[in-house]
A and B are shown apart, each in its own frame.
Chain A
Amino acid sequence: MLKIEGVHTFYGQIEALKGVDLHIGKGEIVTLIGANGAGKSTLLMTVFGNPKCRKGRIVYEGQDITGVPAHEIVRLGIAQSPEGRRIFPRMTVYENLQMGALPTDGSTFEADIREVFDLFPRLEERRNQRGGTLSGGEQQMLAIGRAMMSKPRLLLLDEPSLGLAPLVVRQIFEIIKKINEKGVTVFLVEQNAFHALKLAHRGYVMVNGSITLTGTGRELLANPEIRAAYLEGGH
């Protein structure tokens, strides 16, 4: 569904991605794990055309989308919940969700929001509350819900577990699974390697801007290197 071929991305002179190859099949949950600063977020942003990749190709459903601006990518059926949630703090939950629906023609708005509220009943309870006053977990739900409002076929999530309590992390991952079962392909960038690898069909490990390892979630979980580097300290 999404194919990333030899992508190099630079911030000025700094090469943040050094030739990344990665593919995501239809209906999969694929996770990308790696240490801080490895370039995971950069890869997600590169798919979204900002920053642009200097070398390499990004192909989505057979169409080359390298260099397509972000606002057009959403219309192709890719949605993103960026790192740090980035919900609109002064807007209510409902308005945040409306913002997510802007790329659509609005004709199925009621049904779409119903679907999001079914996934996240908490959001429905709090629909008149301002985004900034939600708890961290609720904000994350809102960020995912907002991304879902554009009815994506491919959902890119950047660290949805960031700063959340273990119980809430588990809830969020449950919901990601549900979303996937609805037929949405998920690309999940995570620090929380244990949960991510358990949930994902396949995983990639990124170190310093390159992919060093790949395999099914189970394989990676069992890999001693991974255990030492990312799962140390238990879970």
Chain B
Amino acid sequence: MSEIRIKTDAPEASFRDVAKDALLTAVVALVLAVPFIGLKSDSVGIALALQTRWAEMFAIVGAVVAGRVLISLFRLRRVQPRTPQPQKRAGAKELAAAWGGKHIVLIGVAGFAFAAALPFMPFSSRYTIDIGTTFLIYVMLGWGLNIVVGLAGLLDLGYVAFYAVGAYSYALLSTELGWSFWVCLPLAGLFAAMFGVILGFPVLRLRGDYLAIVTLGFGEIIRVVLTNWVEFSKGPNGISGIPRPSFFGFSFAREAESTTFHELFGIAYSSQHRIVFLYFLILALAGLTNWFTLRMRKLPTGRAWEALREDEIACRSLGINPTNVKLSAFALGAMFAGFAGSFFSTRQGFVSPESFTFMESAIILAIVVLGGMGSQMGVVLAAFALVILPEWFRDFQQYRMLLFGVAMVLIMVLKPTGVMGSREPTIRLHKKDQGSAAEAQPETAR
């Protein structure tokens, strides 16, 4: 349908435009509605009979036209008070970006609020919460990898190794030593970060393809070691019987020696409690990852990550030590994978090397790249596309990888920088008023 042109300097003309637009809408709607709504084929016995539904058809066409007129009028009112050309240079894209820029926090908070309310929604079942939990794991992993790939620009194809380190840390510490989740969680992060540094050292001088190959190898090494070092990791059989999480010491079991969760709160036992608790746990962990990254971007280290991604030589000439910057990116990115890994362990109750194949790395990387390197919101959208959509379209399971590939190609063709490709400045300065040439006030202090 043609976009209406609104001439702001001549209101009568614009009303005429609205009328014209409405007429056009009516014609198009009618043409479409006759075959789709007006005529209905019905099988009578084995023959086809045609029925008519004119009343419904006109009602719907009327509704369409009314809706269109409303939209037009609404736009008219919004545009009219402005000067003829409110934004000389800014195109629709820029405007959208500016809007997105201003409201991105709002969207983020709304998204978080929705996520927090999800378990209490009437439509949410155990299945919804389970998918939600999986989704959040990937969002968290995406955010973690975003530090390494998106911010620091270090292409890491073996990120799943750190996820594995975290998962096995918890699995082993809890089953062998009987340590609780809350003790193991920071330890898992620490171990993963250590592995991040171990990987970081040899690849300090590598960039791009070479870095990708080495990290890919590293990811495989971890998996192969876990598979073959049977005395340590129980090999391909994996580790089972990993303690499930407790509510800060109160178990979610129906009955236990100590107080259980439902006894603590005096509510009836439900197997749902643990699921919901896990959901909130990963929501909190993912939230932490996001919060941390957003803070980091404003601090010198985070800035240095981004600067390193853009230009390593420039960084050196500005007195940034690339070694420290790279290692910190690897370590912190790995740390969040470690957290996610130990969550994965406690959620599944079982880990084996099979969960940490290259495919996982590829999916996480795809989430970061599709989302638009460095964009936090982009990661969420991409994780949605890569985790939730395939879940919904389970019926097409055989075609999943095919669709995945097609989607990748399409996005790379249509939006090579990712869904949310443009980087948000960490700081925006207000336009200075005419008179006061004295100072430029940044929104945030350095």
Contacts and interface: CB of A to CB of B under 8 A. Distances in A.
Contact of B321 (A71, A89, A114, A130): A71
B427 A94 contact: yes
Given A91-B310, A95-B425, 16 more contacts: A80-B317, A82-B313, A82-B314, A86-B311, A86-B317, A90-B310, A94-B427, A95-B303, A98-B446, A99-B304, A100-B318, A102-B318, A109-B446, A114-B440, A124-B440, A147-B318
Contact of B303 (A48, A80, A82, A102): A102
Contacts of B442: 94
A218 interface: no
Given A82-B313, A95-B303, A124-B440, A90 B423 contact: yes
Nearest to B428: A128
A interface residue count range (under 10 / 10 to 19 / 20 to 34 / 35 or more): 35 or more
A150 interface: yes
A88 B314 contact: yes
Interface string B302-324: 01101100110110111111100
Nearest to A92: B425
A71 B446 contact: no
A44 to B, nearest CB: 9
A150 B319 contact: yes
Interface in A58-104: 69-75, 79-82, 86-92, 94-95, 98-103
A128 B425 contact: yes
A153 interface: no
B441 to A, nearest CB: 9
Contacts of B318: 74, 99-100, 102-103, 146-147, 150
Contacts of B428: 92, 128
Nearest to A149: B318
Interface residues of B, number: 27
27 contacts: A48-B316, A74-B317, A79-B317, A80-B317, A82-B314, A86-B314, A86-B317, A88-B314, A89-B310, A94-B429, A95-B425, A95-B426, A95-B427, A99-B307, A99-B320, A101-B446, A102-B318, A102-B319, A103-B318, A106-B446, A109-B446, A117-B440, A124-B432, A124-B440, A128-B428, A128-B429, A150-B318
A82 B307 CA distance: 15
A232 interface: no
A95 B300 CA distance: 11
A127 interface: yes
Contacts of B231: none
Interface of A: 48, 50, 69-75, 79-82, 86-92, 94-95, 98-103, 106, 109-110, 113-114, 117, 124, 127-128, 130, 146-147, 150
A97 B423 CA distance: 17
B317 A91 contact: no
A113 B438 CA distance: 12
A81 B314 CA distance: 8
A145 B314 CA distance: 13
A73 B319 contact: yes
List 7 A-B pairs, minimum CB-CB distance, nearest first.
A74-B319, A86-B314, A103-B319, A71-B321, A88-B310, A70-B316, A80-B317
B433 interface: no
A117 B439 CA distance: 10
A90 B88 CA distance: 23
B439 A110 contact: yes
Nearest to B441: A110
Contacts of A109: 446
A143 to B, nearest CB: 8
A71 B319 contact: yes
A113 B446 CA distance: 12
A94 B426 CA distance: 10
B311 A98 contact: no
Contacts of B321: 69, 71
Contacts of B322: 71
A90 B426 CA distance: 11
A69 B317 CA distance: 10
B239 to A, nearest CB: 43
Contact of B440 (A48, A74, A106, A127): A127
A126 to B, nearest CB: 11
B310 A82 contact: no
Contacts of A70: 316-317, 319
Given A91-B425, A94-B429, A50 B310 contact: no
Contact of B317 (A48, A94, A106, A113): A48
B150 to A, nearest CB: 11
B299 to A, nearest CB: 11
Contacts of B319: 70-75, 102-103, 150
A92 B426 CA distance: 9
A150 B321 CA distance: 15
A114 B439 CA distance: 7
A90 B425 CA distance: 9
Nearest to B316: A70
A80 B442 CA distance: 26
A229 to B, nearest CB: 29
Contacts of A146: 318
